Structure 1
Amino acid sequence: MTRTETFTPAHDAHHWRSTISVAMSNYIEAGSIIAIATSLGFWQTAFHFGNGAAGVLAAFSPNAFGAAIGAILGGPLADRFGRKFIYTYDLLLYMLGMLFVIFAGNTELLFLGFLLAGIAVGAGVPAAWTYIAEVAPDDRRAAHVGTAQLAWSLGPLVGFALAMAVAPLGLLGARLIFAWLFVVALVTWLVRRGLPESGIWAEQRETNKKSITIGFSLKALFTRRVNITALLFLFGVYAFWNTVAGQAGIFMPRVYEASGFTSPIEQDFIQVIVWFCTSLFTWLGFMLLGDRMSRRLLFAIGSVLAIVAWVVLVFSHPSFGVLIFFAIVWGTSAGIGAQAFYGLWTSELFATPYRAGAQGVLFTAARLMVGFLSLWFPTLLATVGLSKLGILIIALLAVSFIVGTMWAPDTRGKSLREIEQERYGEYLETDTAYLRIAKEAGR
């Protein structure tokens, strides 16, 4: 009997409550990025720093290096001490960072707040994706993992709508948006306190606690071929796409400005359309279809739409119609695109002792790529222009499309245990197999 056959409506409601509360990590992460994107110009004017400093602030925020630091710490800790350990403490650090931002009086305090918030969300997101996949029914895993993607898209949707509302207040309005994120984090932290540990992780821990300490090490992750192939595949799918999405998330107002649309309200309105479409098609596309149709085909559709959106934006004559087309197509592609599939596949392709740690490594690598480009993106946009920079953007999206379409795994409808058995050649629920895998991970 599979796990899916034993679920009752009460169990299903419990799993959805757990999924939604943990998925709020993605709302907070994306909301933080958008809060920075919409406020960076106000901070720049108030504290008198240039484009170079703006790039540094963006790079060490939840959008890039800050999140990378958190992920490389949080992923392994979630494998060693449990998923609940991370989502019990990460938001406390996040709220501290928000307080620094809300009351920042200089660039140094603003930088510290961005960095702390980045570390917190970086630690929380891999643990959240892992937890959601582990508690989800086998035949509805895409729907549950898609909830994290939906939360991620609602963060910018709400963030840009709030930015439009408080734009007349200038920097005070920006501080109010960060205060809103502080309140959301506090409520989420209070709700999460009652959540149980992941059952799969707890069972693994119980099986092996008398013999070894379950843990994680880079050596164990990188000495198994099955892990290395999964890492390379997921890096190709996610890191290249996320390098583009990272710039779009935090610098898109500057891209619109380069296209001739300088009004913050107009820019925020276009972004509201982007994220409305992302939210809508995360639900209609990924959550409703990801467990029913070919995931390879669904991924390919999203990837092609992303490339089309940027080709039109980069090479068409700037107009409001072009921006609306871009907003609809790019938003739709993001709803069924690389990040949703990354959250799903990265939880499926690694055994339990590696799962969160592998996500931490991948998330770190992806955010490092975002960070390195973020350091130069504002300057490159101002010097070489969107037409030349757009070629790099389209090339990055093309790599993600090729890798994901060619090597998409066939995991739909299978339990995590079945996938582990297929990939690692053993049924890892047995004591002997799990002891060996866990020993390698704990070295």
Structure 2
Amino acid sequence: MTNVEDLPLNSFHKRLTVYSAGGPFLDGYVLSIIGVALVQAGPQLNMSASWEGLIGASALIGVFFGGFLGGWLTDKFGRQTLYTLDLIAIILCSVAQFWVQDVFWLFVLRLLIGIAVGADYPIATSLLAEFTPKKYRGPLIGALIVMWFVGAAVAYVVGELLLHLGPDGWRWMLASGALPAVVFVILRHGTPESPRWLANKGRVDEARAVVRRVFGDNASLESLSADEHGERIDTKVLFRSGYGKRMVFISIFWTCSIIPLFAIYAFAPKILDALGLTGPMANIGSAVITILFLVGSLVFVLLINRMGRRKVILHSFLWSGVALLGLGLFPQSPALVILMLFAAYAVFIGGAQILQWVYPNELFPTEIRGSAVGLASSLSRIGAAAGTYLVPWSLVELGIGMTMMIAAGITLLGFLVSWRMAPETKGLSLDEAAAL
């Protein structure tokens, strides 16, 4: 009999990775498409700079509520049921955006979309972590963030095309998020429940049945049923003992890695315009930089097992922070230099991005894994939403140079915190990593 965590990678693992990538893809898509849509929607809905910032941050605010709610629900009721319900909510709200007539209702709909996206993070990543062999867990969970950048890149391309449909192009942009959501709902249908979660709830026979159906009769459930005999752990443990320290680390590094990134994505055309890239070049530049974010994430997915989690996060924060510092110190540089510095940031920050879901899924036990991912996601979005909201104000009042300097400071803070607190979990089973 072979332990589930020592099994070779099979077609089920690969399919589950693709299905679980739906949430990150939609997050990247809906967050990025708003940056292009605001070019038309802003004047039509008479948005002030404050409302533009609030609309840009609305999905992030929603993720704050959805992350912890989804984590709590998936730990309590299981991963399978919620795996498609959250995407159905995204479909309905995306379509509703087409008919919105004022800025308030646009904010409400994007807030609801953010709640659904945030709920998907702990649901999908917990399910994937609990099915995946330890040898492949880091690369496969890390690969989910790649789909965030794929979604963002597709959004910029689609947005640029739909801008030419006329004054209602922005409506089609915002409604277009429903199409990929429908595809992922269809793909996710029939996904089994996590055997780890079933065993933890005392439903060992059901867990064994899932393992046999997915992996065959030679797969062992022993490691999965271990939690069933241990101490019952509730969400309060997230704030106690060693778990509290882990939650602090994950929340801070996650926040520091996404504040600059989300702010740039929400307002990339405006930021590039402020740096001297105007008109269509700003949107094209946004798409190119997004592709480089994708490249950086893929590079670190390939390196995460070779370098280890700790080295990946330290190098990622350090060199991406240096790149942002260069943009802050030399904002009037030639366009080629600006693009090269943005490219360096995009590639190097990929390491911190892929670890956003790897670390919390490895450092917490089955009973609270979903809640941990959800809470860390929620807490990180407080800073990300505030940063996104303040970008238009910062560009006007402080200028592009100081805006980039602030982004660099936040990124380098992530390096310092990770240097002090980041553990190494490479090669450990989920039980071993949670017991560090």
TM-score (norm 2): 0.89
After superposition, the C-alpha distances for 1:23-69 in whole angstroms (9 at most, x for unaligned) are 111000110000111111211111111101111212222xx211111
- 1:207, distance to aligned residue in structure 2 (A): 5.5
After superposition, the C-alpha distances for 1:221-248 in whole angstroms (9 at most, x for unaligned) are 21x3111010111122111221221211
Identity among equivalent pairs (%): 24
2:267 is the alignment partner of 1:266: no
2:360 is the alignment partner of 1:360: no
TM-score (norm 1): 0.87
* AA at the equivalent of 1:3: V
2:218 is the alignment partner of 1:220: no
2:177 aligned counterpart, secondary structure: helix
* 2:199 equivalent among 203, 209, 227: 203
The 5-angstrom pairing of residues 180-329 of structure 1 reads 180-206=176-202, 218-222=235-239, 224-263=240-279, 265-283=280-298, 285-316=299-330, 317-329=332-344
The 5-angstrom pairing of residues 364-403 of structure 1 reads 364-403=378-417
Find the aligned partners of 1:216 and 1:67 in 2 and give their Cα distance.
25
- 5+ unaligned residues in a row in structure 2: which ranges? 206-227
1:300 aligned counterpart, secondary structure: helix
- 1:295, distance to aligned residue in structure 2 (A): 2.5
2:367 aligned counterpart, secondary structure: coil
After superposition, the C-alpha distances for 1:89-146 in whole angstroms (9 at most, x for unaligned) are 1011111210221222222331222111111101111222222222211001111112
* 1:330 equivalent among 330, 345, 355: 345
Contact 2:91 2:178 in 1 (8 A): yes
Find the aligned partners of 1:295 and 1:241 in 2 and give their Cα distance.
15
Worse overlay, 344-353 or 290-299: 290-299
After superposition, the C-alpha distances for 1:372-423 in whole angstroms (9 at most, x for unaligned) are 2333321121111122222321111011111223332121111102223x33
**Partner residue, 2:28:** 30
- 1:321, distance to aligned residue in structure 2 (A): 0.7
How many correspondences in the alignment? 411
Find the aligned partners of 2:82 and 2:414 in 1 and give their Cα distance.
30
Contact 2:252 2:380 in 1 (8 A): no
* AA at the equivalent of 2:399: G
Find the aligned partners of 1:163 and 1:69 in 2 and give their Cα distance.
27
**Partner residue, 1:416:** 430
Find the aligned partners of 2:47 and 2:288 in 1 and give their Cα distance.
31
- 1:192, distance to aligned residue in structure 2 (A): 0.8
* AA at the equivalent of 2:258: N
Shift in CA distance, 126/215, structure 1 to aligned 2, threshold 3 Å: farther
* AA at the equivalent of 2:4: R
Worse overlay, 184-193 or 399-408: 399-408
Shift in CA distance, 325/55, structure 1 to aligned 2, threshold 3 Å: same
2:69 is the alignment partner of 1:76: no
- 1:216, distance to aligned residue in structure 2 (A): 7.8
1:298 aligned counterpart, secondary structure: helix
Shift in CA distance, 215/5, structure 1 to aligned 2, threshold 3 Å: closer
* 1:154 equivalent among 147, 150, 155: 150
* AA at the equivalent of 2:313: F
- 5+ unaligned residues in a row in structure 1: which ranges? 424-443
Worse overlay, 359-368 or 269-278: 269-278
Contact 2:19 2:184 in 1 (8 A): yes
* AA at the equivalent of 1:98: S
- Aligned Cα RMSD in Å? 2.2
**Partner residue, 1:435:** none
**Partner residue, 1:434:** none
